[in-house]
Structure 1
Amino acid sequence: MSVTFDLQSVRRHPSPRAVLALFKPITWFPPVWAFLCGAVASGVPLAGSVWLVIGGMVLAGPVVCAMSQAANDWCDRHVDAINEPDRPIPSGRVPGRWGLWIALAMSGLALVLGAALGRWAFAATIFGVLAAWAYSAEPVRLKRSGIWGPGLVGLCYEGLPWFTGAAVLSGALPGWPVIAVGLLYALGAHGIMTLNDFKALKGDRLTGVRSLPVTLGPARAARMACVVMALPQLAVIALLAVWGLPLHGLAIAALLAAQLAAMRVLLSDPRGRAPWYNATGVTLYVVGMMVAASGLGGMGG
Structure 2
Amino acid sequence: MTTEPLIKPLITPPAVPEPRALLELLKPITWFAPMWAFACGVISSGAALQGRWPVAIAGILLAGPLVCATSQAANDWFDRHVDAINEPDRPIPSGRIPGRWGLYVAIAWTLVSLAVAALLGPWVLGAGVFGLVLAWLYSAPPVRLKRDGWWGNAACGLCYEGLPWFTGAAVMGSALPDGRIIGLAALYSLGAHGIMTLNDFKSMEGDRRTGIRSLPVRLGADRAARLACWVMAAPQAAVVALLLAWNAPWHAALVAALLVGQGVLMRRFLADPHGRAAWYNGTGTLLYVLGMLTAALALRGGLA
Partner of 1:245: 248
Partner of 2:63: 60
Contact kept? 1:31, 1:65, Cα under 8 Å: yes
CA distance in 2, matches of 1:274, 1:114: 34
Deviations 1:174-217 (A, max 9, x none): 01100000000000000000011111111000000000000000
CA distance in 1, matches of 2:67, 2:177: 21
Please give the TM-score of this superposition, normalised by the length of structure 2. Answer: 0.96
Contact kept? 2:194, 2:228, Cα under 8 Å: yes
- Alignment identity in percent? 61
Partner of 1:146: 149
Q: Give 1:48 deviation, angstroms.
A: 3.2
Number of aligned residues: 294
Partner of 2:13: 10
Q: Give 1:300 deviation, angstroms.
A: 4.8
Please give the TM-score of this superposition, normalised by the length of structure 1. Answer: 0.96
CA distance in 2, matches of 1:184, 1:48: 31
Larger radius of gyration: 2
Deviations 1:113-158 (A, max 9, x none): 0000111110011001100000000000000111000010000000
Could you say what secondary structure the match of 1:86 adopts?
coil
Partner of 1:70: 73
Superposition pairs of residues 12-31 of structure 1, within 5 angstroms: 12-31=15-34
1:298 aligns to 2:301 (yes or no): yes
1:282 aligns to 2:297 (yes or no): no
Superposition pairs of residues 128-277 of structure 1, within 5 angstroms: 128-277=131-280
Q: Give 1:49 deviation, angstroms.
A: 1.4
Residue identity matched to 2:89: D
Residue identity matched to 1:31: P
Shift of the 17–217 alpha-carbon distance from structure 1 to 2, 3 Å rule, reads same
Shift of the 31–129 alpha-carbon distance from structure 1 to 2, 3 Å rule, reads same
The runs of at least 4 consecutive aligned structure 1 residues that moved more than 2 Å come to none
CA distance in 1, matches of 2:50, 2:301: 15
Return 5+ residue gaps in structure 1 as ranges: 1-7
Partner of 1:84: 87
Residue identity matched to 2:174: G
Q: Give 1:9 deviation, angstroms.
A: 6.0
Q: Give 1:47 deviation, angstroms.
A: 3.2
CA distance in 1, matches of 2:51, 2:189: 28
Q: 1:118 aligns with which of 114, 118, 121?
A: 121
Residue identity matched to 1:53: A
Contact kept? 1:185, 1:233, Cα under 8 Å: yes
Deviations 1:21-48 (A, max 9, x none): 0000000000000000000000102233
Residue identity matched to 1:156: C
Partner of 1:104: 107
Return 5+ residue gaps in structure 2 as ranges: 1-10
Partner of 1:4: none
